[in-house]
Amino acid sequence: MEKKGILVVVSGFSGAGKGTLMKELLKNYDSYALSVSATTRSPREGEVHGKDYFFVTKENFRGMIEAGELYEFAEYTNNYYGTPRQYVDERMAEGKDVILEIEVQGAEKIKKQFPDTVLIFVTPPTAKELKNRLIGRGSETPETIRKRLNRAVEEAKYMPFYDYILVNDDLGTATKELHAIICSEHFKSTRNREAILGITDELREITKEKGEV
Ligand code: 5GP
């Protein structure tokens, strides 16, 4: 049976550890491809253009929207973020499970276009832990931290619409759990229609055959 790639959206509060979780998942399993988004925000220290994001100007970003190059885009704390189509299409065609690490509005838009998408929401165990992780990053100003926490209050409202809630307490455990969720999605009957039809036809044929059983 041909293994088809699944589109997976991973969202979560800023500071939930999604980025690290994604890196760990890709390091441990080769069945995944992580989509690289375009953004108008400035690179953080150590971030690489084309690997972490495509860092573009607002003008470039508008150009991408007008050319229909993005599957979705959203504004987040005064910057734009969007998912380029080409990379997603190419990796899906290769049979990879493609992960979009995007915020809640983008997730909603993707689910509308591709109802088969698996939506996973990553959260730290507590709000206090979230605040500590944002402060611990050392890369954000107090103003940005406040904005991101306020935004988290809004994002929490979307949690019930996600298919899975993943608590990221221990990185190793969360990585295995994420992989397990995606693996089991492959076994869903709705994703295996061809296999069902195949065995049904074979059974029909075999029961028509004459001779010894
Ligand atoms: P950060 O600035 O911390 O890298 O990302 C801010 C938020 O933007 C995160 O919630 C991240 O998941 C989201 N994000 C990153 N890329 C995209 C994208 O292509 N589309 C949407 N809608 N959100 C994105």
pLDDT tens, position by position, 110-156: 999 999 999 999 999 999 999 999 898 887 889 989 998 999 999 99
Task: List pLDDT tens digits, range 194-208.
Answer: 999 999 999 999 999
Averaged pLDDT for residues 35-49: 95
Token readout for 111 is 């689910």
In a domain, 41, yes or no: no
Is the CB of 74 inside a 6 Å radius of any atom of ligand 1?
A: yes
In a domain, 46, yes or no: no
In a domain, 101, yes or no: yes
The residue to mutate among 21, 35, 37, 140, having the most atoms of ligand 1 within 8 angstroms of its beta carbon, is 37
Helices (DSSP H) in 56-119: which residue ranges? 58-66, 85-93, 104-113
Binning pLDDT at 50, 70 and 90, where does residue 62 land?
Answer: very high
Per the listing, tokens 């690489």 go with: 48
- By residue range, what is the domain housing residue 111? 7-35+96-208
Is the CB of 155 inside a 6 Å radius of any atom of ligand 1?
A: no
d(CA 156, CA 128): 15
Counted domains in the chain: 1
50 Cα to the center of ligand 1, angstroms: 15
**Strand spans (E) along the chain:** 7-12, 32-34, 37-39, 53-55, 70-76, 79-84, 97-101, 118-123, 164-167
How much is the pTM? 0.91
Binning pLDDT at 50, 70 and 90, where does residue 22 land?
Answer: very high
In a domain, 82, yes or no: no
In a domain, 174, yes or no: yes
Binning pLDDT at 50, 70 and 90, where does residue 85 land?
Answer: very high
* pLDDT higher than threshold 90 for residue 3: no
The CATH number of whichever domain residue 112 belongs to comes to 3.40.50.300
Is the CB of 13 inside a 6 Å radius of any atom of ligand 1?
A: no
Averaged pLDDT for residues 56-70: 97
Is the CB of 37 inside a 6 Å radius of any atom of ligand 1?
A: yes
In a domain, 169, yes or no: yes
In a domain, 91, yes or no: no
Residue 140 makes CB contacts below 8 A (sequence gap 6+) with 134, 148
Is the CB of 5 inside a 6 Å radius of any atom of ligand 1?
A: no
d(CA 32, CA 87): 13
